[in-house]
Amino acid sequence: MLDDNLGERKTALYKSAFEGVESVSTFPLSPLFSLFLDHLDVVAYAVAAKMTSFAEAAAHVIEAAYPAVRGSQYMTVIGCTVLVYDYCLNFAKEVELIWKAPLSTISFIYLINRYLTPFILALDIYDRLGLGDPNDTELSFVGTLIWVWVEGYLTVFIFMSMHALVAMRVYAIYGGPRWLKLVLWTGGVLYAIPTMLILGFGLYEGHNTIIIVPFYNVCFERLAPYLWMVWVPSLFYELLLFMLTMSKAIAEAQRREYSPITSILYRDGILYFMAIAMCSIFCMFVWLVGTMEMEGLAKYFATAIVNVAGSRLVLSLKTNARVLQMARSRAPTTIGQSSSFVIGSDTVANPGFLVDEYIMLEELSDTSQIGTVYPTKPMPYFEAI
């Protein structure tokens, strides 16, 4: 259970433990804690603040780190709460549209992200809330050394898979031209390779600085000064997808081809871009200007929010497709032209949308029915990129 008074209650204990200590090297506790004090540069802090003793400086530094540690815990819990709430809210829809439907590329990506993210966050909660055994620091330390690498690349994988889903949607609204496939693949490669390299070098540099802080029972590591750049390629790719989406939306509006179906699709893209871009920017600036205690302030929260946004994107797509199928089987239709996948036609080469009033009312009667168009001739979304 979180205790907001923990730092205040222990301040006196910290100070008494440091009495008579003049430097980190003479501090009579574990090497791990000495390394923690070395990270915080307590002696330099004492000189700058004109404090009279190392004890006073150390107590102030540890107390100053407390808000960041507690903030990271709160943000992690908030993100996990949103994720669990979304599970409860959409589980019935997930069973109907994902589990009972044939497996597709979209469904596969959905399931991997939906159930990999809670596993990651469960272990992060175990660490960030200090739930580990404080008497078994050696085992916890070894586990942390391994988990930092696994978690780092799994988190990047989650973000990349969500970007892949959005790229497929962008390809779909353009009707699948070859030039766009080249643009999306090139952008994806230029996004993935630098991200992996920056992450790998950053984790390697910080590997030997990982510590377990006894007072918080939480793992810390010194962030490489350039690790914040791991979010930059992601932002550029998100911006590319957003600009392609908006360009198509503006072009169709100017040609008066802006149907209710495409308006829902574009709204989906805009909302998702806002969610994932804000998460990336949040993480980037925390790592850029924050201290090492703030490393977890944004990352776990952002991971949960990206999972929720991506899952909503898939479920709304499939929900809208189901609505269109039902409406098409019950209502007379005429075909209206559009440049996206075919609705109500037998060939992808002659694109069109259903324009009967029943479908439009069915789509717009519930704002949760947000998704994309449904091709009557199956076209695997994996082929889109």
So what's the pLDDT on residue 89? 92
CA 294, CA 73: separation in Å to the nearest integer? Answer: 10
Nearest alpha-carbon partner for 136 in 230, 32, 209? 32
- The 10s digit of each residue's pLDDT in 258-286 is 565 666 677 777 888 888 888 889 889 88
Q: Say what the pLDDT of residue 328 is.
A: 67
Residue 258, exposed/middle/buried by CB under 10 A (0-12, 13-18, 19+)? middle
- 75 Cβ contact partners less than 8 Å away, ≥ 6 residues apart: 296, 297, 298, 300, 301
- Mean pLDDT, the chain cut into blocks of 10 residues (385 residues total): 45 45 40 49 48 57 72 87 92 89 86 89 80 64 79 90 88 87 95 94 82 70 85 93 89 72 73 87 86 77 90 82 70 42 33 34 34 39 34
- Give the per-residue pLDDT at 236: 94
N-term to C-term CA, the chain: 46
Listed residue (149, 142, 133, 156) closest to 306, CA to CA: 156
Residue among 197, 191, 113 at smallest CA distance from 155: 113
The residue type of 67 is: P
Q: 0.75 exceeded by the pTM?
A: no
* Torsion on CA atoms 98, 101, 104, 109, rounded to nearest 10: 10
Q: Which residues contact 167 (CB under 8 A, 6 or more apart)?
A: 184, 188, 241, 384, 385
Q: Where are the beta strands (DSSP E) in the chain?
A: 211-213, 218-220, 335-336, 353-354
